[in-house]
């Protein structure tokens, strides 16, 4: 077989080969025999179907198998010629030509190779920053909120009027055009006034009511109300208040700290204040990282680290971005692209810059993750998707199944790795005091001996 290999750069190679027609015919015969062994055709016993009938009925599949085997052999010889191991092959080769001539086949393919990435400029890429300091007022405000969260509910004194932050228990029934409507009735229903769990008009009506009091009032459902059959409708509600509970907020002291930090030994109010300050710092840090620094970091990686990219992978990423764009287009736009191939090519080409950046950053992040030994395990991916499902009201197993079916799990894992890699290098710029503040969030458990 005539083989010619040309290395275009460190990440791309062009392969040309001219395998003989006899070689292809041998492969064709081999796969035809393989199909014949297991073929089931009416009127013939298994393995006894005439080869001519097999070739006639399964010609396309047999030719495809023979061609794929030939391509793999050409690729194997080409990698050997390049001095490259198969593990350094990136993606599948792009076949640009496969033509039959009189005595041979002319085969040409583009091959992507693992790029060589020099990471000595990584520290220059990380943007400089300063996390907002945690003011004492913020600590005290968070402690008050924490105390409120730990408050016990106690029945209110007689004749008390319901106020914001009180937990009320009511019966209610709604009517539209004097008729009850679905979902408009409940008994012994509890909610916190001011929590926006109920519509604002409803809460205002319950405000200042006393235990045992009954009230009837009008209510207009918003035009954008989530229940379509109620949106924009005018209703009347009957309400009876059964119970008012107020919060018995604990005093913020050492005893309270021991209750909150139950797993820590010798916890004091000072310990709790340190934990709260550390948590607020982490929140400030995460906000800064996610809203500003990570994108700057990615832009800097793209600008300052240069290396050859496998063109086959860039082309695949362009295809992906183009397909995703089609899903969000109007039907008329899609039809216009289908009818005008030149316009479709231009649209696809418009994604080259974004595709190149995406592929480049992915390779950099992957190299950094391996260098720093940063990993994401499969169970962490599932936990992330489970949390996403719970937050959006979806079935967790169904969502995970959807990601698996669409082969999207690797993309989720890569996004998580990218987040950890960027955070890892940004965290290196934190001061010793800031790092100790974060470390304080990892409490020392009580001695259980």
For the chain, domain boundaries: 2-112, 152-248, 265-439
CATH level 3 topology of 265-439: Trigger factor, domain 2 (1.10.3120)
pLDDT score for 165: 93
The architecture of the domain spanning 2-112 is 2-Layer Sandwich (3.30)
Per-residue model confidence as pLDDT tens for the chain (449 residues): 789 999 999 999 999 999 999 999 999 999 999 988 888 888 888 878 888 898 889 999 999 999 999 999 999 999 999 999 999 999 889 999 999 998 999 999 999 999 999 999 898 999 999 999 999 999 999 999 999 999 999 999 989 999 999 999 999 999 999 999 998 999 999 999 999 999 999 999 999 999 999 999 999 999 999 888 999 999 999 999 999 999 999 999 999 999 999 988 899 999 999 999 999 999 999 999 999 999 999 999 999 999 999 999 999 999 999 999 999 999 999 999 999 999 999 999 999 999 999 999 999 999 999 999 999 999 999 999 999 998 888 899 999 999 999 889 999 999 999 999 999 999 999 999 999 888 878 755 454 33
pLDDT score for 447: 44
On whether the pTM is more than 0.85, the answer is no
pLDDT score for 393: 84
Class of domain 152-248: alpha beta
pLDDT score for 443: 53
pLDDT score for 449: 37
> Measured between alpha carbons, how far is residue 5 from residues 82, 111, 175 in Å?
7, 10, 80
């Amino acid at each position: 077989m005539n083989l010619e290999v040309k290395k275009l750069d460190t990440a791309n190679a062009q392969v040309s080969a001219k395998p003989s027609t006899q070689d292809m015919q041998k492969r064709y015969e081999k796969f035809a025999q393989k199909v014949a062994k297991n073929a089931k055709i009416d009127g013939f016993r298994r393995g006894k179907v005439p080869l001519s009938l097999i070739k006639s009925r399964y010609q396309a599949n047999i030719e495809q198998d023979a061609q794929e085997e030939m391509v793999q052999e050409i690729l194997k010889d080409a990698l050997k010629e390049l001095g490259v191991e198969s593990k350094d092959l990136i993606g599948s080769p792009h076949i640009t030509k496969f033509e039959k001539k009189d005595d041979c086949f002319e085969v040409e393919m583009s091959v992507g190779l693992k790029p060589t990435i020099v990471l000595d400029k990584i520290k220059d890429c990380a943007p400089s920053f300063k996390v907002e300091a945690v003011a004492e007022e913020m600590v005290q405000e968070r402690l008050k909120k924490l105390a409120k969260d730990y408050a016990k509910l106690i029945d209110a004194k007689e004749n008390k009027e319901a106020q914001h932050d009180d937990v009320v228990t009511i019966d209610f029934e709604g009517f539209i055009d004097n008729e009850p409507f679905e979902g408009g009735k409940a008994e012994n229903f509890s909610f916190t006034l001011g929590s926006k769990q109920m519509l604002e008009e409803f809460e205002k009506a319950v405000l200042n009511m006393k235990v045992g009091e009954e009230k009837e009032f009008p209510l207009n459902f918003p035009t954008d109300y989530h229940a379509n059959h109620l949106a924009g409708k005018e209703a009347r509600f009957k309400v009876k208040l059964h119970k008012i509970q107020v919060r018995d907020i604990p005093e913020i002291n050492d005893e309270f700290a021991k209750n909150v930090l139950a797993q820590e030994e010798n916890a004091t109010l000072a310990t709790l204040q340190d934990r709260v300050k550390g948590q607020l710092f982490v929140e400030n840090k995460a906000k800064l990282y996610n809203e500003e620094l990570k994108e700057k970091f990615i832009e800097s990686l793209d600008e300052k680290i240069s290396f050859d990219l496998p063109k086959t992978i860039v082309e695949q990423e362009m295809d992906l971005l183009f397909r995703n764009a089609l899903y969000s287009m109007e039907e008329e736009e899609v039809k216009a692209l289908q009818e005008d191939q030149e316009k479709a090519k231009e649209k696809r080409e418009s994604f080259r810059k974004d595709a190149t950046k995406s592929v480049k950053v992915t390779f950099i992040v992957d190299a950094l993750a391996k260098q720093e030994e940063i990993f994401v395990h499969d169970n962490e991916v599932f936990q992330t998707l489970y949390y996403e499902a719970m937050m959006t009201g979806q079935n967790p197993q169904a969502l995970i199944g959807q990601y698996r079916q669409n082969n999207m799990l690797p993309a989720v894992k890569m996004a998580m790795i990218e987040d950890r890699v960027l955070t890892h290098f940004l965290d290196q710029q934190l001061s010793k005091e800031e790092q100790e503040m974060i470390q304080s969030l990892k409490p020392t458990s009580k001695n259980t001996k």
